[in-house]
Amino acid sequence: MSVQKRRSWAEPFKIKMVEPLKMTTRKERELALIEAGYNTFLLKSEDVYIDLLTDSGTNAMSENQWAGLMLGDEAYAGSKNYYHLEEAVQKYYGYKYLIPTHQGRGAEHLISKILIKNGDFIPGNMYFTTTRLHQELAGGTFVDVIIDEAHDTTSEHHFKGNIDLQKLEDLIKRVGAEKVSYVSVAATVNMAGGQPISMKNLKQVRELTHRYGIKIIFDMTRAIENSYFIKVREEGYQNGTIAEILLEMCSYTDGATMSAKKDLLVNIGGFLALNDFEIFEEARNLVVVYEGLHTYGGLAGRDMEAMARGLEEAVQFDHIRARIGQVEYVGNKLLDNNIPIVKPIGGHAIFIDAKRFFPHIPQIEFPAQALASEIYLDSGIRTMERGIVSAGRNKDTGDHYYPKLELVRITFPRRVYTQAHCDITVETILEVFDHREKIKGLKMIYEPKYLRFFQARFERL
Ligand code: PLI
């Protein structure tokens, strides 16, 4: 019998510059948590050991991107870096027109203001916090039309980001196509656990919306990660490059909002990309009110250069395999130890199911928020709540949303942490799991009106 040889992959880079990490004592972390109101967003970053709060703007840039910063053309108007970025967006995403914004929500703000009328509906594959808020502030109502499997943390469906075509068509028939501003399609779906949408499903959504004359606006913040999942999971795409798959995905949509702080390997930036000249013209006009001139949109020239260069790197297979491979490495170790996490393992993060981790804590006592606090307390690792606090309140009834998913997100910045950091993260979660029965829930003592998860404060029960 021949023995199968193991062939590993490794990160396609080596480390050139380091940033020291500070370790704290448990006593110091206890004080820091109280000061932060048990909200990991309110911790000082210098009190954090391994920062797995988010993959947003926390990426390590390459030497080529840093070199690009020195080529920043900081002209108020017509910066050459804008034209470089425009060329890169046309090449890799395929849209005709580009409007830079300071980050993703800047683009969401513009497109919501342009396309949503008071009383409209915006169906989508699960909400994202800032996206839904901008849709609501523009007078719309978001309707979740993701497949049911996305709300089940144990379902191993390979494309839990898919849209349920029946739910979508039922909504269109119920409210009328003229009341649907557009379909909001995200790839990969953050709140579902970093789960991808399949090419087949996206194509079907395109066919359906064409029949009713409805647009698709793509949240392509993590579409490169989605392309990787299509390549490795969807029949017919094994031989396609990431760049080809990405281009095909975008071709089924009419425009896109982008938070470049994720896929594009930068620390700040975003954009709106469009094919329709009239919408572009309106957005180009509005951006000067809210962001900056249409050739910089709130960014420095050097930021746009870093984005253009980051995009070239982000579509390389070796990069994306190592990026998602790191997340899978941690996820598989947690699964081996029976930690309840969302399956399959997501693209940018591992999501712990706090309802199953803490069956003794009711949702109104914020189990995911309590778990994120406890993880920090154990070792200084910072994670994020993605459950009832993030879901916020129903704008009509004022009640909490009570989402089915009550999760803690362990999010990996791109190209930042090593395998040893990953191992320490796993050890921490196992440690907290071992004494989970002793951990109590929280009480919310301060709640801001918008996007409360960023600034809410809690006390231990
Ligand atoms: O944080 P922004 O404004 O650059 O982007 C907003 C945004 C839009 N869509 C999606 C899918 C996101 O994940 C997103 C931001 N996500 C954050 C900040 C996160 O921690 O996941």
Q: What is the pLDDT of residues 9-55, one digit of tens each?
A: 899 999 999 999 999 999 999 999 999 999 999 999 999 999 999 99
Q: Are residues 40 and 83 in the same domain?
A: no
> Domain end: 255, 287, 314, which one?
314
- Ligand 1 atom 8: the closest Cα is on which residue? 104
Q: Are residues 348 and 362 in the same domain?
A: yes
Q: Are residues 260 and 338 in the same domain?
A: no
> Of these residues, 160, 261, 382, 386, which one is catalytic?
386
Amino acid 8: pLDDT: 85
Residue 335 CB neighbours (<10 A) = 15
What is the Å distance from ligand 1's center to 37 Cα?
Answer: 23
Instruction: Tell me the H-state helices in 254-391.
Output: 277-290, 301-314, 317-336, 354-357, 367-379, 388-391
Q: Are residues 125 and 142 in the same domain?
A: yes
Q: Are residues 286 and 248 in the same domain?
A: yes
Q: How many helices (H) and strands (E) does the chain have?
A: 16, 14
**Does the annotation count 358 as an active-site position?**
no
Q: Are residues 344 and 308 in the same domain?
A: no
Question: pLDDT tens across 386-432, in order?
Answer: 999 999 999 889 999 999 999 999 999 999 999 999 999 999 999 99
The edge-to-edge listing of strands for the beta sheet with 270-274 is: 97-101, 270-274, 255-259, 216-219, 183-186, 121-124, 141-144
Q: What DSSP element (H or E) covers 101? A: strand 97-101
pLDDT at residue 191 greater than cutoff 70: yes
Sole residue written with tokens 């129903």: 394
**Does the annotation count 127 as an active-site position?**
no
What is the pLDDT confidence band of residue 2, given thresholds at 50, 70 and 90?
low
pLDDT at residue 435 greater than cutoff 70: yes
**Does the annotation count 76 as an active-site position?**
yes
Residue 11 lies in a domain: no
Residue 16 lies in a domain: no
Nearest to 286 by CA among 136, 107, 122, 83: 107
The C-alpha atoms of residue 103 and residue 57 are separated, in whole angstroms, by 10
> Of these residues, 55, 164, 219, 303, which one is catalytic?
219
Residue 448 CB neighbours (<10 A) = 11
Which ligand 1 atom sits nearest the alpha carbon of residue 54? 20
Residue 363 lies in a domain: yes
Copy the structure tokens of residue 367.
């189990």
**DSSP per residue, 136-153:** HHTT-EEEE-B-GGGG-T
Mean pLDDT of 153-176: 98
CB 44 within 8 A of CB 32: yes
Q: Are residues 50 and 68 in the same domain?
A: no
What is the Å distance from ligand 1's center to 168 Cα?
Answer: 24
Q: pTM for the complete prediction?
A: 0.96
Residue 200 lies in a domain: yes
> Domain end: 314, 349, 371, which one?
314
The C-alpha atoms of residue 328 and residue 353 are separated, in whole angstroms, by 16
Residue 20 lies in a domain: no
The C-alpha atoms of residue 46 and residue 380 are separated, in whole angstroms, by 10
What is the Å distance from ligand 1's center to 219 Cα?
Answer: 10
> Of these residues, 128, 280, 357, 376, which one is catalytic?
128
> Of these residues, 262, 302, 309, 323, which one is catalytic?
262
Amino acid 136: pLDDT: 96
Q: Are residues 255 and 291 in the same domain?
A: yes
Instruction: Tell me the H-state helices in 315-436.
Output: 317-336, 354-357, 367-379, 388-391, 419-434
Question: Which residues are near ligand 1 (CB < 6 Å)?
Answer: 54, 56, 103-105, 128, 130-131, 186, 190, 219, 221, 259, 261, 270
Q: Say which CATH number the domain at 36 has.
A: 3.90.1150.10
> Domain end: 266, 289, 314, which one?
314
What is the Å distance from ligand 1's center to 4 Cα?
Answer: 42
Report in angstroms the alpha-carbon separations of 426 from 106, 152, 204, 273, 421.
35, 23, 39, 39, 9
Which ligand 1 atom sits nearest the alpha carbon of residue 57? 4
What is the Å distance from ligand 1's center to 232 Cα?
Answer: 25
Sole residue written with tokens 């790197």: 313
Sole residue written with tokens 């804590």: 361
Mean pLDDT of 332-349: 98
Which ligand 1 atom sits nearest the alpha carbon of residue 222? 11
Question: pLDDT tens across 271-329, in order?
Answer: 999 999 999 999 999 999 999 999 999 999 999 999 999 999 999 999 999 999 999 99
Residue 7 lies in a domain: no
Residue 2 lies in a domain: no
Q: Are residues 303 and 325 in the same domain?
A: no
Q: Are residues 355 and 403 in the same domain?
A: yes
Which ligand 1 atom sits nearest the alpha carbon of residue 186? 11
Q: Are residues 164 and 257 in the same domain?
A: yes
pLDDT at residue 1 greater than cutoff 70: no
**Does the annotation count 91 as an active-site position?**
no
Residue 4 lies in a domain: no
The C-alpha atoms of residue 151 and residue 412 are separated, in whole angstroms, by 22
Domain membership of residue 378 as a residue range = 26-55+317-460
- Ligand 1 atom 16: the closest Cα is on which residue? 56
Q: Say which CATH number the domain at 90 has.
A: 3.40.640.10
Q: Indicate the number of domains in the chain.
A: 2
Q: Are residues 340 and 303 in the same domain?
A: no
Pocket test for ligand 1, best of 135, 195, 221, 383 (most atoms within 8 A of CB): 221
